[in-house]
Amino acid sequence: MLEVKNVSKVFRGPNGVLNAVDNVSLQVKTGEFLAVHGPSGSGKTTLLLSIGGLESPDKGNVIVEGKNLYRMGSNARARFRAANIGFVFQQFYLIPYLNVMDNILAPSIALPHSEASKRAEELIEKFKLTDRSSHKPSQLSTGERQRTAMARALLNNPKLLLADEPTGNLDGENTEIILSFLSEFAKSGKMVLMVTHSEKAAAYADREIHLKKGKVQ
Query: Do the bridges between strand 160-164 and strand 191-196 make them parallel or antiparallel, or are there none, so unpaired?
Result: parallel
| Domains identified in the chain and CATH numbers | 2-216 (3.40.50.300)
pLDDT of residue 107: 83
pLDDT of residue 109: 65
SS3 28: strand
Q: Report whether 204 contacts 182 (CB < 8 A).
A: yes
pLDDT of residue 174: 86
Query: Do the bridges between strand 207-212 and strand 33-37 make them parallel or antiparallel, or are there none, so unpaired?
Result: parallel
pLDDT of residue 113: 67
DSSP assignment letter at 70: G
pTM: 0.90
Q: CA torsion sign, 128 to 132 to 138 to 140? A: negative
pLDDT of residue 82: 87
CA-based angle 167:165:60, to the nearest 5? 155
Please give the helix or strand (H or E) that residue 195 lies within, else none.
strand 191-196
CB count in 10 Å sphere of residue 63 = 16
What residue ranges of the chain have pLDDT lower than 50?
none
Angle between helices 142-154 and 172-187 (to 10 degrees): 10
